[in-house]
């Protein structure tokens, strides 16, 4: 249930593995698009995978009203609906709650009893305790329906499992087939066994490996209680965001003392206890997960009157990184009034069209408020960015964005942007030709040789 990133990718992957999958959504337009092969968002490899599932008769799409019929046949229902950030930072569970009630009603309306309990899999990122909350709401749904005269035999049969997802946008299909681990939390062994069976081909890496010919190594299947599984998701994302904010803090100190954070990150990353990934300094993290999950974890801590001071600092460092782009521009250009600034890359990271909590939009809107003209380019997110922020002029060629720009900011390290022709860029720009490299993705020496004033993050 839910055809967002998590639901659609999970559905298409499970169908590829040989299961029979119906993806359910309430948005008729989205379903119409999916039935005709149109993806609701940009994700490499997904379109092919969906087409393959549909072609083999293993994947189809249904409206949420049809859920009663599906509950009859399904071994498991994955709840993958949105859990947006509420005003106080906590996760808004209203979509999850609605789906849980619908499942309850559908269970109550079953004419014949199910042979085995329905396994309800919480895939959406939900606060600790939500597994029990979902069970309660399913029971509410059952009671409501029975109160209204429905009285099926299947009513008692359901089990709730938490199965957090760790897929990254831009490599979601790959991450689903080759995860570092699969986590399942439940109070019942039976439910965990159903999940293990569903994921068996991934755990054993026994599916056709045309996707990735690397050696087969079994994927750890971690079983826990419900609350721990829910916490594992938050703790993973909080740790990764902490790692990024940590290296950004070090980058800022590097800049003061004249050290190069790229060298520092490479060397500390070789310590196996630290690890080399997620140590790229720059304008920090955005997207649909880190900001929301960290806010939700901080909000959860506040409910217990606990001050999560480390997480508060992680978030504060991230806010400061974005502001540094403006500070760096001001240092070289002084006033930004009347200046033209090219923004290279607009999505929150490469290989996705997602603009949720994208640094580009915040930076563009500050530039606008300071009287500068921001001109943005992105290989896929341009149109959507222009709709979200009318003050941002969007063009469809990076060199057009650079034409007459006094400064350029590399915001998203798309391959196309990492490999820009810097000589051509410099020839097109106006003095003082400042290049703020928000992802430390370019070669500083090559930029200087091309005549640009290169400004990285923590690069001495």
Alpha carbon distance 386, 375 (integer Å): 10
Residues of span 289-318 touching ligand UDX by CB under 6 A:
289-290
435: β partners: 408, 454
Among 240, 251, 375, 441, binds ligand UDX (CB under 6 A): 240
Shortest approach of ligand UDX to residue 168 CB, angstroms?
Answer: 4
Q: Which of residues 340 and 459 has its CB atom nearest to ligand UDX in the complex?
A: 459
Alpha carbon distance 290, 294 (integer Å): 6
Q: Which stretch binds ligand UDX (CB under 6 A): 43-51, 193-201, 276-284, 336-344?
A: 276-284
Shortest approach of ligand UDX to residue 286 CB, angstroms?
Answer: 4
Q: Which of residues 135 and 262 has its CB atom nearest to ligand UDX in the complex?
A: 262
Minimal CB distance to ligand UDX: which residue?
289
The answer to whether 172 and 123 are in contact (CB under 8 A) is no
Shortest approach of ligand UDX to residue 340 CB, angstroms?
Answer: 25
Q: Which stretch binds ligand UDX (CB under 6 A): 37-45, 250-258, 278-286, 381-389?
A: 278-286
The answer to whether 429 and 412 are in contact (CB under 8 A) is no
The answer to whether 10 and 123 are in contact (CB under 8 A) is yes
What does the per-residue mask of binding to ligand UDX show for 314-353, with x meaning CB under 6 A? ----------------------------------xx----
Among 53, 141, 201, 282, binds ligand UDX (CB under 6 A): 282
CB proximity list for 376: less than 8 A, separation 6 or greater: 342, 343, 346, 360, 364, 382, 385, 386, 392, 393, 394, 395, 401
Q: Which of residues 278 and 399 has its CB atom nearest to ligand UDX in the complex?
A: 278
Shortest approach of ligand UDX to residue 424 CB, angstroms?
Answer: 26
Q: Which of residues 118 and 294 has its CB atom nearest to ligand UDX in the complex?
A: 294
CB proximity list for 106: less than 8 A, separation 6 or greater: 67, 68, 70, 71, 141
Alpha carbon distance 116, 372 (integer Å): 63
What does the per-residue mask of binding to ligand UDX show for 154-193, with x meaning CB under 6 A? -----------xxxxx------------------------
Q: Which of residues 247 and 308 has its CB atom nearest to ligand UDX in the complex?
A: 247
Shortest approach of ligand UDX to residue 348 CB, angstroms?
Answer: 5
Shortest approach of ligand UDX to residue 156 CB, angstroms?
Answer: 33
Shortest approach of ligand UDX to residue 336 CB, angstroms?
Answer: 24
Q: Examine residue 286 and tell whether it contacts ligand UDX (CB under 6 A).
A: yes
Q: Is 289 a catalytic residue?
A: yes
Nearest to 134 by CA among 157, 113, 158, 165: 158
Q: Please work out the total of residues on this chain that contact ligand UDX, with binding judged by CB under 6 A.
A: 20
Q: Which of residues 20 and 320 has its CB atom nearest to ligand UDX in the complex?
A: 320
Catalytic residue among 13, 23, 254, 289: 289
Q: Which of residues 226 and 240 has its CB atom nearest to ligand UDX in the complex?
A: 240
Shortest approach of ligand UDX to residue 12 CB, angstroms?
Answer: 17
Shortest approach of ligand UDX to residue 417 CB, angstroms?
Answer: 13
Alpha carbon distance 57, 303 (integer Å): 47
Q: Which of residues 240 and 329 has its CB atom nearest to ligand UDX in the complex?
A: 240
Q: Which stretch binds ligand UDX (CB under 6 A): 23-31, 106-114, 255-263, 282-290?
A: 282-290
Output the CA torsion 323→329→331→333 (10° steps): -150
Alpha carbon distance 107, 119 (integer Å): 12
Give kind and range of the element (H or E) at residue 408. strand 407-410
Alpha carbon distance 76, 20 (integer Å): 11
Q: Return the residue matching tokens 């949720």.
A: 356
The answer to whether 379 and 414 are in contact (CB under 8 A) is yes
Query: Which backbone phi and psi does 221 adopt, to 5 degrees?
Result: -110, 105
Name the burial class of residue 267, with classes exposed (0-12), middle (13-18) and buried (19+) by CB atoms within 10 angstroms of its CB.
exposed
Q: Which of residues 169 and 255 has its CB atom nearest to ligand UDX in the complex?
A: 169
Q: Examine residue 382 and tell whether it contacts ligand UDX (CB under 6 A).
A: no
- Give the helix ranges, DSSP H, for 377-432: 382-388, 398-402, 415-418, 422-428
Entry field: residues in the chain: 460
Q: Examine residue 278 and tell whether it contacts ligand UDX (CB under 6 A).
A: yes
- Give the helix ranges, DSSP H, for 158-209: 172-177, 189-203
Q: Examine residue 287 and tell whether it contacts ligand UDX (CB under 6 A).
A: yes
Among 176, 223, 237, 351, binds ligand UDX (CB under 6 A): 237
Query: What residues act catalytically?
Result: 289
Q: Which residues bind ligand UDX (CB under 6 A)?
A: 165-169, 237, 240, 244, 278-280, 282, 284-287, 289-290, 348-349
């Amino acid at each position: 249930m839910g055809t967002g990133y998590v639901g659609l990718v999970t559905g298409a992957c499970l169908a590829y593995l040989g299961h029979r999958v119906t993806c359910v959504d309430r948005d008729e337009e989205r379903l119409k698009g999916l039935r005709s092969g149109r993806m609701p968002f940009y994700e490499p490899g997904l379109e092919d995978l969906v087409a393959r599932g549909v072609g083999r008769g293993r994947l189809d799409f249904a409206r949420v009203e049809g859920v009663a019929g599906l509950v009859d046949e399904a071994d498991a229902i994955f709840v993958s609906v949105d859990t947006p950030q509420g005003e106080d930072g906590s996760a808004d569970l209203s979509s999850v709650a609605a789906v849980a009630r619908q499942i309850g009603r559908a269970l109550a309306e079953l004419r014949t009893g199910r042979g085995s309990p329905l396994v309800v899999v919480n895939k959406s990122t939900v606060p600790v305790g939500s597994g029990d909350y979902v069970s309660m709401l399913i029971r509410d749904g059952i009671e409501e329906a029975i109160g209204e005269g429905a009285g099926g035999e299947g009513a008692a049969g359901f089990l709730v499992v938490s199965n957090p997802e760790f897929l990254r946008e831009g490599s979601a299909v790959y991450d689903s087939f080759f995860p570092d681990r699969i986590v399942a939390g439940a109070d019942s062994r039976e439910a965990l066994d159903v999940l293990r069976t569903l994921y068996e081909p991934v755990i054993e890496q026994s599916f056709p490996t045309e996707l990735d010919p690397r050696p087969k190594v079994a994927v750890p299947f971690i079983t826990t209680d419900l609350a721990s599984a829910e916490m594992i998701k938050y703790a993973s994302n909080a740790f990764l965001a902490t790692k990024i904010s940590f290296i950004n803090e070090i980058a800022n100190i590097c800049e003061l003392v004249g050290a190069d954070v790229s060298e520092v990150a490479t060397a500390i990353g070789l310590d196996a206890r630290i690890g080399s990934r997620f140590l790229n300094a720059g304008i920090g993290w955005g997207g649909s997960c880190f900001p929301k999950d960290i806010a939700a974890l901080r909000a959860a801590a506040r409910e217990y009157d606990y001050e999560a001071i480390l997480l508060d600092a992680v978030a504060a460092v991230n806010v400061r990184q974005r502001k540094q782009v403006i500070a760096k521009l001001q240092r070289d250009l002084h006033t930004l009034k009347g200046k033209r600034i090219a923004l290279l890359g607009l999505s929150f990271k490469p290989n996705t069209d997602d603009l949720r909590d994208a640094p580009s939009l915040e930076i563009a809107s500050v530039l606008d408020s300071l009287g500068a003209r921001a001109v943005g380019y992105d290989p896929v997110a341009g149109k959507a960015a222009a709709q979200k922020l009318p003050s941002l002029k969007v063009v469809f060629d990076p060199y057009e964005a650079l034409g007459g720009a006094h400064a350029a900011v590399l915001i998203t390290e798309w391959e196309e942007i990492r490999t820009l022709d810097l000589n051509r860029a410099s020839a097109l720009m106006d003095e003082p030709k400042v290049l703020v490299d928000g992802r430390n993705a370019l070669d500083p020496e090559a930029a200087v040789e091309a005549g640009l004033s290169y400004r990285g993050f923590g690069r001495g």
